[in-house]
Amino acid sequence: MAERVLTERAIEEYRITDEPFYLPVGNETELFEAAYHARLPVMLKGPTGCGKTRFVEYMAWRLNRPLITVACHEDLSATDLVGRFLLEGEETVWHDGPLTTAVRYGAICYLDEVVEARKDTVVIIHPLTDHRRRLPIEKRGTLLEAPPEFMLVVSYNPGYQSILKDLKQSTRQRFVSIEFDYPPPELEAEIVAREGGISLEMARDLVLIGQKVRNLRGHGLEEGVSTRLLIYAAQLIARGIAPIAAAEVALAFPITDDRDLQRSIREIITTVI
């Protein structure tokens, strides 16, 4: 049986060379760095589109480590993460999965929305999150030792998960947790202006709309407007779309199909803009 793994040159493709734009809200960068140097796994908790993924990208750049991201879903198996044997011609060849690749080369492995993965899949990360820092590769009967540079990061949205899709305490208590929320208004406006390519004044209007729409949560709206959606609206405006139309298609329509809620959001948009 043969083995096919990435070369040192290939792993460099996962290294972020240009600094991602990220504005710290609190002490999250210091906490993440401390966890990295202490070889602790990190859990990022916060609403959809509040900047968790961008934060991980920024920290991977800051720490100069390759970043391997896995978008978790309900069909994600342990084999998808660890690796599998595949037939290539007349040979059976082992191919590393993304988690194994990260461990092998000391990368940061980011499991985005980890609760979406099957519970039996999540268990495979447990030996990497304690003093052992090992990855069992059962199909090969081997244990892969994680180097000091390896780091495991997971994220999820606690406000959106059902009881059936929550993390077990046995998993939760293996991580240090950094909580995220939408940035303060002035900071969020700066982010929207920079990422969306619009004026700060226009960005402030979009952020005000976002704040007012978020206040509708608990009144029929499951999720508020994310910073990501505000940036989408800004990018449309920057390309010549009328602000009200841009706000409708980026802020009102994606978050709800309820006509009454859409009408309420349109009223907020037309009042602010």
Q: CB burial class (10 A; 0-12, 13-18, 19+) of residue 260?
A: exposed
Cα–Cα distances in angstroms (integers) from residue 79 to residues 34, 44, 98, 111, 121, in the given order: 31, 24, 10, 15, 8
* Residue 144 banded pLDDT, cuts 50, 70, 90: very high
Mean residue pLDDT across the chain: 92
Of the ranges 28-32, 37-41, 141-145, 149-153, which one carries the lowest mean pLDDT score? 141-145
46 pLDDT above the threshold of 80: yes
Contacts 24+ apart (CB under 8 A), 164-168: 165/115, 165/116, 166/115, 167/114, 167/115, 167/122, 168/119, 168/122
CATH architecture of the domain with residue range 2-179: 3-Layer(aba) Sandwich (3.40)
* pLDDT confidence of residue 163: 46
Structure tokens at 269: 């948009």
pLDDT band (50, 70, 90) for residue 89: confident
Percent of the chain with pLDDT over 70: 95
pLDDT value at residue 87: 87
User: 159-193 pLDDT, tens per residue?
Assistant: 665 445 677 888 889 999 999 999 999 999 999 99
pLDDT tier, 203 (very low <50, low <70, confident <90, very high otherwise): very high
Q: What is the pLDDT of residue 1?
A: 54
Domain ranges in the chain are 2-179, 185-272
Evaluate the CA torsion angle 8, 9, 10, 13 in order and state its sign: positive
Higher pLDDT pick, 239 / 85: 239
Q: Reading across the β-sheet that carries 83-88, which strands appear in turn?
A: 2-4, 91-96, 83-88
Tell me what pLDDT residue 165 has: 65
Of 2-11, 12-21, 117-126, 157-166, the one with minimum mean pLDDT is 157-166
Q: Which of 104, 97, 174, 107 is nearest to 143 (CA)?
A: 104
Give me the pLDDT at residue 4, please.
64
Q: What is the mean pLDDT of residues 122-129?
A: 93
